[in-house]
Amino acid sequence: MQTDSSFTFVLFGGTGDLSMRKILPALFEAHRAGGMLADSGKIVAVARHATDRGEYIQWVNEHVKPHVSKNGVDESAWASFLERIEFVNIDLGKAEDFVHLRDAIQDLPGIRVFYLATGPSLFVPICHALASVGLNANSRIVLEKPLGYDLKSSNAINDAVGEIFAEEQIYRIDHYLGKEPVQNLLALRFGNALFEPLWRREWVESIQITIAEELGVEARGDFYDNTGALRDMVQNHLLQLLSIVAMEPPHSMDSDSVRDEKLRVLRALKPIDPRDIGKVAVRGQYHSGVIRGTAVPAYATEPGVKPESATETFVALKVEIENWRWAGVPFFLRTGKRLADRVAEIVVNFRAVPHSALGASALRAGANRLVIRLQPNETIRLYCLAKQPGEGMNLASVHLDLAFDQFFREGQMEAYQRLLLDVINGRLALFVRRDEQEAAWRWVEPILNEWKASNKPPKPYASGTWGPAASSAMLAQHGTCWLEEEN
């Protein structure tokens, strides 16, 4: 991935958590790798908690350096990376201050990228202020999630931003789309003739998509308590994964071909009937418990969280897609904080053989299964039945593994690195288009409304478990269970 295109990467929220943990480390990795970023490319940080470049660089050294290169920092690369960084001190609330930003960057060559790693309430004021000093031309804008709180507020932001930037200048980031195994899912599905004929209702019994975290809400209690897992994870990451799993083969990998197909899936999601919500949606909230031997507190006692909070930290859903390929196949989605393990995976359960000449054990569930593990230990694992050695026809489940780090020892890229390079190079395929985002909000909103109207608290679950029992019960009703294997 080489670039000779110069750029000015303006980072709003330059001392925020995201900049510290993800954005600046990803830019550093791209810099360190060599050849990915044009030598003349600059990073211009706009941040509240620094007054000048010296102070900002000191902050970067103290806070960002610990997050780069797990295997030790390449000091000379780090020193040359710091040379790329400039700093502008402006008050984001004062449009007139943006003149200073313009003066600082207007003579720099190449495309301008404005990365809004700020709270969403600043998105529109920043866009207006950029436009007021003419900085919306020859530029791209990156919007972090959450983009709005519901369909209405997300439309309001999109309308306002859309008056200033054209859709092809807008990069709505969903970092799950940048993960290597998600890309690999596209390669698996559309690069091999083997799977595609099976990838449909005739052969697939059910699909599970899990994003489980061991972490709690960390320092984000305040934000999270007004958000919840449905908005934080389902509306974006889980529905994006679902649309990639279920989409029709696109005509090409260009940005609109892929996004058109994903949109068709999102529009085909069977609307949830509020009367059925108890059968198809489970919400939970973590209580205290033990994770890897350490006692952890209940959500309601986390800093920033209201003690009587009814915010969900766990969601499980049964989703259906109303089209020819998927009619009647349940897609089970699940995400939660403080669960038993950190794992993100997609499980495709194929149907059992229609008749077993090999005896009852050949009908056993769990063998005809494809597991795409997104993290940790990225693998694609195909479970099959095989004969156990020895006398008699005794069958056992075995698996074929594609472990990416064994095949491809080099070149693995973090999601943010890939996505930032895509923004700089003008590749939109892995960013969420406005109509996709609207379709996702439209589908989740009735669930949010129903939960709010019902006034029922979320179901409690102990930290370190797999969530409320109702989540397993929902799958049991369909004769299946969540795949919960040791890492």
Residues with a known catalytic role: 237
CB of 74 to ligand BG6, least distance (A): 24
Footprint on this chain of ligand BG6 (rule: CB under 6 A): 175, 213, 232, 344
| Closer residue to ligand BG6 in complex, CB, 129/343 | 343
What is the DSSP code string of 303-358? Answer: TTS-TT----SEEEEEE-B-STTTTT--EEEEEESSBSS-EEEEEEEEPPPSS-TT
User: In this structure, what token pair is assigned to residue 12?
Assistant: 């709003």
Closest approach, Cβ 316 to ligand BG6, in A, equals 17
Burial letters 48-86, b for 16+ CB under 10 A, else e = eebeeeeebbebbeebbbeebeeeebeeebbeebbebbb
Looking at residue 223, its amino acid is F
Between 344 and 439, name the residue whose CB sits nearer to ligand BG6: 344
Q: Which is nearer to ligand BG6, 14 or 178 (CB)?
A: 178
The helix/strand/coil state of 80 is helix
CB of 373 to ligand BG6, least distance (A): 12
Please, which residues have CB within 8 angstroms of residue 455's CB and are 6 or more apart in sequence?
Answer: none
For 383, residues 6+ apart whose C-beta sits below 8 A from its C-beta are 366, 367, 368, 369, 370, 371, 397, 398, 399
Q: Which lies closer to ligand BG6 via its Cβ, residue 225 or residue 232?
A: 232
Supply the minimum distance, in Å, between the C-beta of residue 375 and ligand BG6.
6
| Nearer CB in complex with ligand BG6: 85/339 | 339
Nearer to ligand BG6, 204 or 333 (CB): 333
Structure-block tokens of residue 21: 């943990």
Q: Which residues does 292 contact at the CB level (< 8 Å), separation at least 6?
A: 214
End-to-end CA distance of the chain: 32
Q: Cα–Cα distance between 355 and 110 in angstroms, integer?
A: 64
Check: CB of residue 241 under 8 Å from CB of residue 182: yes
Instruction: Give the rounded distance of the alpha carbon of 222 from its chain centre.
Output: 21
State which residue has the least CB distance to ligand BG6. Answer: 232
Q: Which two tokens stand for residue 69?
A: 């290169």
CA 407 to CA 188: how far, in whole Å? 15
Q: Residue 333 or residue 344: which is nearer to ligand BG6 going by CB?
A: 344
Instruction: Please list, in sequence order, all residues whose beta carbon lies within 8 angstroms of the beta carbon of residue 231, skipping any fewer than 6 positions away.
Output: 146, 149, 444, 448
Closest CB 417 distance from ligand BG6, rounded Å: 13
Angle at 478 between CA 473 and CA 481, to 5 degrees: 55
